[in-house]
Structure 1
Amino acid sequence: MALLVSTRENTLVGRTEAWRFHARHSGTVQYDRLLDIMARSRTTLSKPDLVAAVQLLSETVSSLVADGMFVKTPLGDYYLSAVGTAKAADDRFEPRTASSGHGLRLRFRPARAAEAAILESVRFRKDDEAPRRYPAPQELEPVHEASRDPGAGPGGSTRGSTRGSVGRRSLAPGGFARLSGRNLRFDEADERLGVFLVPLGGGEPRRCSAYAEIRPSLVIFQSPPDLLPGDYALAARTATKAGTVREGRLAGGLSVEG
């Protein structure tokens, strides 16, 4: 077993390179299996002994942290922090009142020695197949009405291409567009999947719910008619046979005009 490292298209704002590295776990070790592994290692403790020791450690750390202590363990430190704001210095702190906006957060900070030891012994391998399985939107072309362009083809529309465009693409609310790339096919009935417009200033992504065509290399979609003006990222979301959602973003962004 080894950590799987692959490359993904770099769609981050301010990117300087076209690709970025991404790590994926090679498996999951559940608690019971962890105890079995520990019991088979260099120890005279049985599995019941280990269960008792780990349970005692967990209960003791939990109790001390709940009492406001900063607890250091070989793997790292446990402590609490407070969040929220107040209008006055003498305002009450009410983390158990949902409407207060106050809260407590359990924090964990890896111990430097443990972190260094783990990173020093990491085994990893490059997964060159992973980038080919993720949706990879590459080009966006607005579809204009034939009545606005005498060069329309027999399908009743003509394309205004943005291939090679240096500036930001534009899209009108309710407008149709062609998205081309790789691995774009998805189940239209699954609302987790499809073409999403993500506000760059923050806010909920909007799913485009109307599609004229869905193929691995091409999706023709309509943007939501009530889409607000602003700057957006375009995300294509597909799913594996196991139902895991995968996302790929169009490099650059797009503007929605009012």
Structure 2
Amino acid sequence: MANEPWIARIGWLNWADGATLTALHPGPATLGVDRLKIIYTGQYHEQTGTELAVRLSFAEPKPVDAVVFPMVNATSAATMRVRANSRADMAGTSLYNYTGTANVDPAINYAIHLLPSTVTAQHWEVAVTDPSLSVSRAGRLVVMPLHRFANNFRPDWNRAWEDISDEREGDDGTMYAKEKPKRRVFTCDFGFLTRAEADDVALEIERVVGKTRDVLLVARPNAPNLGKYTIWGKPLDAGGVSQPNFRVFTKQFKIKERRR
């Protein structure tokens, strides 16, 4: 079952945060490319024109399964370019080359590309192009490996939009609300983790990510509307890993999206 394309995948090591980033198009100096490393997606990076393009160089080759720009201003017509190369100027041996849909859902604002198989490379170029734009923005850059679970999560999983607006009721019963942003929350239970997944995925995410970093969960990797089933955000404490029976391990993930 582990190789089925519909099985959920999760990543927690964002190589982009440790990379050297280079913007390929000009933009305001105050909105420079290193803003893509800031965990707060509202502090976006901006480039002038129809395309936002970035080159990344790692200290050593890294395995990559997913490239995501959360919080883009692109439309559903946007395309995405993902290239991997043996040289930083992208003039060496081509290790991967994709140009196609960016899977942008305007309600979700992610540009997403899932590689068909893991590619290990030191130098990458990623871009989102939308002819309708005069200014291109993104709140974050995610370049990471993904773990595909051996068994999918239980069917009673939940997706919700959380509204954090302040509400109050007047003495006469009038209802008031101070509008604030909405964000998504995914909750899913993995009821049949392997021992290796319990030790090296679920507990490793708690150790590395904790309460301060983020994960990428792709709940349905083969979904045509990929953005609706993908979330980048902070995992909430869901009680660690349980072992309800011999060689049976369970873990609940509850992930609150970073939209700001």
Q: Same fold (TM over 0.5)?
A: no
Higher relative contact order (CA 8 A, sep 6+): 2
More helix by share: 1
Q: TM-score, normalised by structure 1?
A: 0.25
More strand by share: 2
Q: TM-score, normalised by structure 2?
A: 0.25
